[in-house]
Amino acid sequence: MTPSQTASPAASSTGSSTGDDDVAAILTESARRFFSEACPPALLRRAETDPDVGPALWRALDELGLPQACAPDTAGGSGLGWAAVRGVIESCGEHGVPVALPEMLAAHLVARAAGIAVPAVSRITLAVARREGQELIADAVPGVVGAQAVLIEVAGRLMLLDPAHARHTPGINSAGEARTRLCWPDADACLAGSVPAVHELLLAGAAIRSAQIAGAARRVVDMSVGYANDRVQFGRPIGKFQAVQQQLAVAAQWSQMAAMASQLALVDSGEALDPVRVAAAREVCCAAAEAVAGIAHAVHGAIGVTAEYDLQLLSRRLKSWAAEFGSSAYWSSRLGRQVLAHGGDKVWDQVVALAPA
C-alpha cells in the first residue's frame, strides 16, 4: 500500500486529527514491517562496504511509496506532513536503515514550504552549507550517492543543487554511514536561483535525527532487556539483580523521554516546525542517546563492543546522530536564549505552551 492510497494530500494536511492519526498509524506499521524484514543486521554490516545495498533498498522503498510521502501531488507524492511520517522516521532509526529516507522526507517538506519545485521521483537529500569566497561548501552530507539533487541552505536562503556539479570528498561518520563533503565552485551562480527559507533547514535535520534516536533507543533498550534475561551469572539471569534492573529502568525512562520529545518536535500535520519544540527535543534526545548507549554497553559488557554482536550497530548510530545537525550544547544554548528572551521568568508557562493542544 502506498501513502497515496492511504489518504489524499488534502485529507492528510487539512483533515481531522483522527484522519491524520490513522494515516500515521498505517504508514508506521507499514514501515516497521518492511524494515524488520528488509534491514536485518547483516544488511547494515554489508552497507558499510557494498555500494549496491543502497540502490536495491531504494528500489524496494519506491515500490512501497515511502520516499514520495511528503512530496506534493504535482511531483507524484502524497503531500503528507511531519506528524504523518514521524513513525516512519523513528522506524528508520529503530532498524538503522542505511539509506537517507528521513533526509528525503525532510527535504520535500522544507522545499514545499519554500515553494521550491522538486522534480518528480527525484532522489533528494539536504544539507546546511556555507560560503567561502566563490565556493559553497557543505560538510558531511548524507545520502549523496545516488541523489539527483541536494537541498541547500546558506544564510537563510534555499536552493536545489545538482551534486554532480560539485567536488566530492567521501567520508563516513562513526557509525560507518556515508557522509560526503560537497563543494560547488560558483557561489554566485548557485545563489542566483535561491529563495528565502520559510522553515530553517537545520531544524528539519535536528528533528529527523531526534526521531531516529528515539527509534534506535527503543530498540537498544529492548536488546538490553532481552540480553539481561538470557545472560546467566552466579546461577541466575543478570536481569534478576537489582542493580541491573535499576539501570535498565533508567534506560527505559530515557527511551520514553526521547519518544515524547520526538512526538513534540514533529507534531505538526503540515510543513511547520516550532524552533523551541525542536530545540527542546534535540537536547532530550541527545542526552537519551548518551545515557541509553552507556547503560546498554554496561549491561552487555565486553560482548557489546564486538563487531560480531548487533548492539554496536545501533549504539554507534546513537552517538553519530547526536552529533549531527547541531550538538546538544548548540541546541541547549538556543533553548536558553529563548527562555532569556522572555526575561527568564515564567519558564513553566513557556513549557506548557509548547504542549500540543
In the chain, the domains with their CATH numbers are 3-196 (1.10.540.10), 201-354 (1.20.140.10)
- The residues near 65 (Cβ < 8 Å, ≥ 6 apart) are 1, 2, 3, 4, 5, 78
Q: How far apart are CA 324 and CA 181, in angstroms?
A: 14
Return the SS3 of 195: strand
Question: Pseudo-torsion of CA 292, 338, 81, 11, nearest 10°?
Answer: 130
pLDDT bin (cut points 50, 70, 90) of residue 76 is confident
Give the chain's mean pLDDT.
91
DSSP symbol at 69: T
Share of the chain above pLDDT 90, in %: 83
Q: Summarize the confidence of residues 101-116 as an average pLDDT.
A: 97
pLDDT of residue 120: 79
pLDDT bin (cut points 50, 70, 90) of residue 188 is very high
Max intra-chain CA distance, the chain: 70
Q: Is the pLDDT of residue 319 over 50?
A: yes
Note the pLDDT tens digit of each residue in 230-277: 999 999 999 999 999 999 999 999 999 999 999 999 999 999 999 999
pLDDT bin (cut points 50, 70, 90) of residue 345 is low
pLDDT of residue 346: 67
